[in-house]
Structure 1
């Protein structure tokens, strides 16, 4: 594997599906899995096979369908979970079992009511057992974000000895600051024997709005897999958004980190997931929101019309958006009106534009947005009142 390649582990169909209100059936999961494979993700976490017969079937069918990506199934550190996941993944060209256990004091004391020693024993046993079924075993240290670094390093070292190929360091509760998460990855890189033989993975949640920042910080510190979802969907406030980390790495080439994602499919994939899962995206969502490449301020519009790069750091076509949107509101200027008018066939002189703009402002003050049909009406009014012909 290229040392600068960051693998994209998509968990839309597992962690993303856990969103309250998400509506998706097995057939829709297959459609999304096929698109994720086309998008270029490296690993598709297809589900949690032991959780229900339906999830087992979905993982099994996805394992049959996907030809390029590794297909992954989640388990607890329980032999039955691992056996069921292995059975579901059997048809996969490349299968991975993702097993693990909570490692924070909170999980050890309240969730498992056990000891650190027992957690290490169960972690080793789970990884070793999973290796009987697949070569590729990912170990997750749940709530690693709140786990004391020395103990986390000890657990990771034992997981490597037991055969883990990937170590997942989740900020399960979205608590870490980027500096803290980066330092945690760096600590593991420097203090775990055998760490260079495995891939470190970032799995960050967005409870404080830091999932993407933490994942990027982790990758800069040496992690080479990012676990994410389309549109950032996931439990509570969601997961790291795939489209965000991919475009951050693409737009900052000096980081010398890259993915194999076909970015021109990002917007269309986002729309597909919204539709299939019944999960809308807020208009101001980075990269794929309706307003991500829309401009309504006159100052911004004038700059973008003159040169797109004045207010856009990405070419919308790079993510599959046709073009930037110049939205006409009461905050828009003459340049924006002339631009939109030209788009629908009106070449305005300066005198015509000055007349049209005054009428435009009257429209804009009455409604939130002036659309193309309104522009036609404005041009007719100006032509009739001022006796200035507007072709």
Structure 2
């Protein structure tokens, strides 16, 4: 049946938007032939500049120092520390890092400067004595900026870049320190590709990079304007046509306006970028910068060492939230509170079985269903993280929770009945159930049930026909039932059926230990089929293994209610219960 769109309103004013980006003048699609990224790019954190300027309340000096140490501990070797000509705090932070010798020898700081004379000079004043620093020069090049903001021609924009590059070179020669140069045609994604190439090459002609003094050309998606494959083609075109390419480090700086920052960065690296600028958890103006945490762990998930350490991601997230007053979303890739959590019953069952399968041979590659990476590799625990229970959960997840938290290894058949009960409680209360709440439901519904028939004790008379007496209490009256069987448990089962007048069949039994040493308890499970074909389960716990099995038997018999309750009530009303059962 075809859909009639004549009366669809939607958002008809979409025709006001044009695609204000530019494809390369030649085909640039070699990147499409690559399957994945084979090694990590160079990383540059811009948290302390790009990320900081996006905060409602920017970090103070002490907070910036703490954040710098956080970035160093993660393993960043290039860190953009600010725009020192922009404010006293930025200037003071840079001077503190240099004068107090807080920059490790293997870490290069980076500073940003517009291509304006007084800003460049102020920047080098702040950099005096830096052991290793990248001076990041930029000016805007897009058609929209040229026409609307600067109202300058292409040549005039090139002149701004070239004069800035010359002044940076001159100031570096006069300032104590060790400096590398970087140029960004800001708003690259809205720039015609021939012009972007032309202005970068003019800057390279000034700096003339060598193997010993490479230059960084950074191509930012200042505003993400196209689908990721277009950005990749732009990067490939620039990579193949830049002058001095062997001495140029090609960098990308994607923003996330279209929600494709990670894809832009990954495809950009496939297309020839060797370096990525971004922030932890994507902090930045508008929708943010590209998230380096996600990029790095995407590599990790493909078996590539990201050369950054996120083994304690919860601690990193906590430090980030404390210092920036920003929050990491609960579904944020890898770092979110719920990203490794399954509520769906089918997902829980698959995860539980996958984890069990993995225990059988830990040498296998990680391939647990629904879990891209092992949560423990980023500092997350299996208990309480992977499987959590609400009204959408299933028997597999509930069984997994009991096993992981309490050592309760339910028989597969028993899980279904418990699952329905747990889901019912969650649905009625409209809340997630914690492991202890699930355990309490299990105890209440299945374990050591003693009403209406309470088990008191047993005595085995002989081991030939297992003549066994079992003592019970019903309605306050104590009595003893005796029977024989092919084992002690069978004899007690026969005594129950004979004296209560109930019938069941297909008794199955499972047991295991719960805990170790003197605190160990035996846990037994018994399943029976009642006369109407319904399957019932009970559980017993006791320090003695056989006693736990007898308690499990009484638990399941008591679950035959109302059948057992009705029989007890019927016989009690006929006279003293001792006379009926004695």
Q: CA 1:139 to 1:292, structure 2 compared with 1: closer, same or farther past 3 Å? A: same
Aligned-pair distance for 1:5? 4.9
Query: In structure 2, which of residues 283, 289, 304 is the aligned counterpart of residue 239 of structure 1?
Result: 289
Query: In structure 1, which of residues 170, 186, 191 is the aligned counterpart of residue 220 of structure 2?
Result: 170
Greater shift, 92-101 or 149-158, is seen at: 92-101
Question: Tell me, what secondary structure is at the counterpart of 2:110?
Answer: strand
Runs of at least 4 residues off by over 6 Å: none
1:358 aligns with 2:408: no
> 1:182-219: per-residue Cα shift (whole Å, max 9, x none)?
11111112222212211111111111101110011111
Q: CA 1:322 to 1:376, structure 2 compared with 1: closer, same or farther past 3 Å? A: closer
Query: In structure 2, which of residues 320, 339, 347 is the aligned counterpart of residue 292 of structure 1?
Result: 339
Greater shift, 268-277 or 339-348, is seen at: 339-348
CA contact (8 A) 1:16 1:234 kept: yes
Question: Tell me, what secondary structure is at the counterpart of 1:305?
Answer: helix
CA contact (8 A) 1:228 1:239 kept: yes
Q: Would you say how many aligned residue pairs link Structure 1 and Structure 2?
A: 386
Q: CA 1:162 to 1:4, structure 2 compared with 1: closer, same or farther past 3 Å? A: farther
Q: Which structure 1 segments of 5+ residues have no match? A: none
CA contact (8 A) 2:447 2:540 kept: no
Aligned-pair distance for 1:20? 4.4
CA contact (8 A) 2:448 2:540 kept: no
Greater shift, 55-64 or 75-84, is seen at: 55-64
Whole-angstrom distance in 1 between the partners of 2:44 and 2:295: 12
CA contact (8 A) 1:66 1:92 kept: no
Greater shift, 194-203 or 223-232, is seen at: 194-203
- Pick the structure with more helix per residue: 1
Query: In structure 2, which of residues 174, 179, 182 is the aligned counterpart of residue 138 of structure 1?
Result: 182
- 1:191-340 correspondence to structure 2 within 5 Å: 191-253=241-303, 259-308=306-355, 309-323=368-382, 324-340=385-401
Whole-angstrom distance in 1 between the partners of 2:423 and 2:339: 25
> 1:231-258: per-residue Cα shift (whole Å, max 9, x none)?
10100001100111112223335xxx76
CA contact (8 A) 2:257 2:287 kept: yes
CA contact (8 A) 1:74 1:99 kept: yes
Greater shift, 348-357 or 242-251, is seen at: 348-357
Query: In structure 2, which of residues 428, 433, 436 is the aligned counterpart of residue 370 of structure 1?
Result: 433
The aligned residue for residue 109 of structure 1 is: 147
Greater shift, 74-83 or 229-238, is seen at: 74-83
TM-score between both structures, scaled by the size of structure 1: 0.92
The aligned residue for residue 92 of structure 2 is: 57
- Pick the structure with more strand per residue: 2
The aligned residue for residue 192 of structure 2 is: 148
Q: CA 1:345 to 1:250, structure 2 compared with 1: closer, same or farther past 3 Å? A: closer
CA contact (8 A) 1:8 1:43 kept: yes
Q: CA 1:349 to 1:263, structure 2 compared with 1: closer, same or farther past 3 Å? A: closer
TM-score between both structures, scaled by the size of structure 2: 0.63
Question: Tell me, what secondary structure is at the counterpart of 2:130?
Answer: coil
Whole-angstrom distance in 2 between the partners of 1:91 and 1:376: 63
Whole-angstrom distance in 2 between the partners of 1:349 and 1:189: 60
Whole-angstrom distance in 1 between the partners of 2:430 and 2:449: 24
> 1:332-383: per-residue Cα shift (whole Å, max 9, x none)?
1111111111233252543654443232122210223110231243133214
Larger relative contact order (CA 8 Å, sep ≥ 6) = 1
Aligned-pair distance for 1:259? 3.8
Whole-angstrom distance in 1 between the partners of 2:229 and 2:416: 53
Greater shift, 135-144 or 15-24, is seen at: 15-24
Whole-angstrom distance in 2 between the partners of 1:381 and 1:118: 81
Aligned-pair distance for 1:290? 0.9
Q: For the pair shown, which has the larger CA radius of gyration, 1 or 2? A: 2
1:17 aligns with 2:45: no
Question: Tell me, what secondary structure is at the counterpart of 2:44?
Answer: strand
The aligned residue for residue 381 of structure 1 is: 444
Q: Which structure 2 segments of 5+ residues have no match? A: 1-37, 173-177, 210-214, 356-367, 451-537, 542-582
